[in-house]
Structure 1
Amino acid sequence: MDEDLVLPMSQGTFELLWSNLGEPVELNTLLHELPPRPDILPLERPLTPTLEDLEVVLQLPSGSCCTDNLPPTATTVPSTSDYPGEYEFQIRFTQFSTAKSATSTFSTKLNKLYCQLAKTCPVEVLVKQDLPQGAVLRATPVYKKSDHVADAVLRCPHHQNIAENNDGVTHRSHLIRIEGTQRAQYLEDDVTKRHSVIVPYERPQLGSDATTLLLSFMCNSSCMGGMNRRPILTILTLETQMGQVLGRRVFEVRVCACPGRDRKTDEENSGKTTGNNTDKKKFQKIPDQVKKRKADSDPEEEVFLLPIRGRERYEMLRSINSSLELMDLVPAAEQQKYRQEGTAKPMARCSIDNPQPKNGKKFMVKDLKSDSD
């Protein structure tokens, strides 16, 4: 190339500039003109990039090195089934009190955790084998019912504002927090907008078989604008550093003011619904009988069901109903006779059947004349 060649500034076209540069020289031609060296092998193909080489460079595979370190995105409908995996991943709760003063309690019967707002709930994590290096624990809240499972579980605006004013934390919209560690990371999926919190897995301390995880739920189940009385599940997964699931455990959570009372009530209601199947069948047959009687006979034979609360009230209404049923069996003439006998019997019972007292006093009986008369 001529060193004294001066290129025009901002004039002409690219073709004019390219023609002034002279003929291109391939790199292979220059290499062949150099003296041969024994440590360098001859090139099998020219080093000048072609259009095919550019296409290969531009079309990067989806699993390239630039995206290997990113965790996989969360699915729209996460799995809610337990999966112990090859490491036999298990969780264990230690709070089972039903007292009113209990801040958290777990129902083994319902697989449900009851806790107060912003109170620490210890959860023990157990594995049977050593985990890979960099394993993490992830806690993700999801809605239980299929109508809301695609929605992200968020805190209500009221508690978010309180957290912003008091703490100023960036994860104020997260429902679940992990206490007792500074290594917790609060994440939000770009696609589903679902929140989760991860913490590195720590081996059990000497003399213990489990690792304790401290969970805290930052919004009540009844908060408007948040969960709004919709039941939620907590998915606790054991994952590798790359996001591969090694184990999964799922349990239901209710955040309330009195965990012990609500747990006791739910267990009693669950026992009634599951233990009295025979009584349910009996009550389910009655409406069919009522429809049949209504169609075949007159309206006087129609049967009604009346739910009664309280044993005393039930016995009183049952006695009234028995009296009315007995009255229907007695003819009208006999009913009048029984009424007359009912009014006459107290007089006869006072004047004839009952003896006079020994002290000479007499009962006061209506329409009886005195001795002087």
Structure 2
Amino acid sequence: MMEDAASSLDNISLSQTLPLSQGSFHQLWNVLTDGVAEDGVRGMDMLLMNEHELTGFDETLFNLPEMSTKETVTPPASTVPVTSDYPGDFDFQLRFRKSGTAKSVTSTYSELLNKLYCQLAKTNPIEILVSREPPAGAMIRATAVYKKTEHVAEVVRRCPHHQNEDRKDNPSAAENSSHLIRVEGSERAQYFEDVNTKRQSVTVPYEAPQLGSEMSTVLLRFMCNSSCMGGMNRRPILTILTLETPEGHVLGRQCFEVRICACPGRDRKTEEENSTKMQNSTKETKKRKSVPSPDSTSTKKPKSGSGTDEEDRECFVLHVRGRERYEMLKKINDGLELLDKEGKAKTKVCMKQEVPLPSSGKRLLRKEERSDSD
């Protein structure tokens, strides 16, 4: 139909030019038809869109593609992490397996110090206890921080030496080579590094206790020694374990100190003994401070009334009301004065009599007497 209209227009001759146009109607028509022919694809799209509007709106048109869990969950890292215990509504608790202080142990926990001693890259089973089932998708997050205030702002990382060794031995895990804490025995463990604070953490999904057990177990490994230069450099660290929702909300928190060394049993025994000695010495110091020092004035013995003391020579004036009371106090004072005089007289007599007696068979000679030999 459109072709017939175009052919009919071709046979029409215009005798008068259009004053407001720059060409004939035939030229204008050709331009329009050529534009439609060249933009045929765009015209078909417009027709399809109009047809789509007539049939209905597709609700899935603006749906975003699904993202992995690692991309959607971001670790809630703060500038200064909280290290205080918080059991929360689920009574989140940790339990460590008992082991002695023998030299052969690879991991041992001190209840006295709340401190875990372990060897490099050795498995440390940590038991997780909750009072009731946490929400679906809950996870356990492990984060390492420095214990002392002057180092708490720094990020705990492995030393360069152990990082390079890990990259050579396991190239596939090179991106996680700087992480100190590793989770063992779970393929669903994910490692994170906060964009702002650069703190590193590792998460693993919470697993419900198996039948006949009240706890679940998480296996952690510490991939650097506490004494490594360029890493911890003998600075004490704390490990924070948190129970979190899939969105990153903390449900519970527990914290303990960690020392990675060659002989965990020996170091635990030594530090426990030093801590006990310090506690005992502190108690003794407190006891000494609590006992009052003896009063020097109360221990002085009263001196005899010799009349030579300044207190005895000093005179005091006492104002007394009433003649009768005055006479009574005057008699008492006169009596005391008399006793002092008698005491002085007795003292002089005693001093005269205190002359050493002669030995047996001899007697003392007076000045006016002479000996027989004279």
TM-score by length of 2: 0.57
Q: % of aligned pairs identical?
A: 62
Unaligned runs of 5+ in 1: 9-67, 285-373
Q: How far 1:131 moved relative to its partner?
A: 1.0
Q: Equivalent of 1:242, from 247, 264, 270?
A: 247
Alignment of 1:225-240 (within 5 A): 225-240=230-245
Paired residue type of 1:271? T
- Tell me if structure 2 keeps the 8 A contact 1:236–1:249: yes
Query: Which of 151, 162, 165 in structure 2 is aligned with 1:162?
Result: 165
Matches within 5 A, 1:129-148: 129-148=132-151
- Tell whether 2:113 aligns with 1:114: no
Query: Which residue of 2 is the match for residue 99 of structure 1?
Result: 102
Letter in structure 2 aligned against 1:79: V
The two structures, once aligned, show a CA RMSD in angstroms of: 2.9
Asked if structure 1 preserves the Cα contact closer than 8 Å seen for 2:75 and 2:192, the reply is: no
Match of 2:228 in 1: 223
Q: Contact 1:141/1:235 (CA < 8 Å) preserved in 2?
A: yes
1:282–1:89 Cα change, 3 Å: closer
Match of 1:340 in 2: none
Amino acid at match of 2:222: F
Unaligned residue ranges in structure 2 (runs of 5+): 1-28, 36-70, 290-374
Distance verdict in 2 for CA 1:197–1:70, change over 3 Å? closer
Distance in structure 2 (CA, Å) of the matches to 1:186 and 1:72 = 10
SS in 2 for 1:269: helix
Please point out which of 207, 219, 224 is paired with 2:212: 207
Tell whether 2:212 aligns with 1:190. no
Summarize deviations over 1:26-63 as a string: whole Å, max 9, x none.
Answer: xxxxxxxxxxxxxxxxxxxxxxxxxxxxxxxxxxxxxx
1:246 corresponds to which letter in structure 2?
L
TM-fit CA distance, 1:70:
4.1
- The CA distance in 2 between the partners of 1:254 and 1:111, in whole Å, is 11
- C-alpha deviation, 1:279, in angstroms: 4.8
Shift of 1:97: 1.2
Shift of 1:72: 5.3
* Residue-by-residue CA offset, 1:55-82 (whole Å, 9 max, x unaligned): xxxxxxxxxxxxx944354100000000
Post-superposition offset of 1:112? 0.2
CA contact (8 A) 1:73 1:191 kept: no
1:1-373 equivalent positions in 2, closer than 5 A:
4=31, 69-71=72-74, 73-168=76-171, 169-170=173-174, 171-277=176-282, 279-280=284-285
Residue-by-residue CA offset, 1:167-215 (whole Å, 9 max, x unaligned)? 1213111000010111100111111111100000111111111001101
Shift of 1:278: 5.1
- SS, match of residue 265 in structure 1: helix
- Is the 2:106–2:119 contact (alpha carbons within 8 Å) kept by the matching residues of 1? yes
Structure 2 CA distance, aligned partners of 1:7 and 1:228?
Answer: 79
> CA distance change for structure 1 residues 108 and 7 in 2, over 3 Å: closer, same or farther?
farther
Q: Secondary structure at the match of 1:123?
A: strand
Paired with 1:3 and 1:80, the residues of 2 have a C-alpha distance of 80
> Which amino acid letter does the alignment assign opposite residue 115 of structure 2?
K
Q: Describe the SS at the equivalent of 1:147.
A: helix
**Per-residue CA distance 1:104-136 (angstroms, 9 max, x = gap):** 000001000000000000000011111111100
Instruction: Decide whether aligned partners of structure 1 residues 278 and 106 sit closer, same or farther in structure 2, where only a CA change above 3 A counts.
Output: closer
SS of structure 2 residue aligned to 1:109: coil
| Higher radius of gyration, 1 or 2 | 2
**Counterpart-to-counterpart distance in 1, 2:282 and 2:111:** 22
8 Å CA contact 1:105–1:115 kept in 2: the answer is yes
Q: Is the 8 A contact 1:138 1:238 kept in 2?
A: yes
Distance (whole Å) between structure 1 residues aligned to residue 34 and residue 201 of structure 2: 60
Q: CA deviation at 1:275?
A: 1.2
Partner deviation per Cα, 1:214-268 (whole Å, 9 max, x = no partner): 0100000000000000000000000000000000000000000000000011101
Distance 2:147 2:254 in 1: 14
* Residue identity opposite 1:277 in structure 2: T
Q: Tell me the amino acid that sits aligned with residue 180 of structure 1.
A: G
Relative to structure 1, the CA distance from residue 278 to residue 244 in structure 2 (aligned partners, 3 Å threshold; closer, same or farther) is: closer
The residue number in structure 1 matching 2:25 is none
What residue identity is the alignment partner of 1:160?
Answer: Q
Q: Give the distance between the partners of 2:94 and 2:253, measured in 1 at CA.
A: 10
User: Larger deviation: 102-111 or 275-284?
Assistant: 275-284
SS in 2 for 1:273: helix
SS at match of 1:247: strand
2: CA distance between counterparts of 1:255 and 1:199? 22
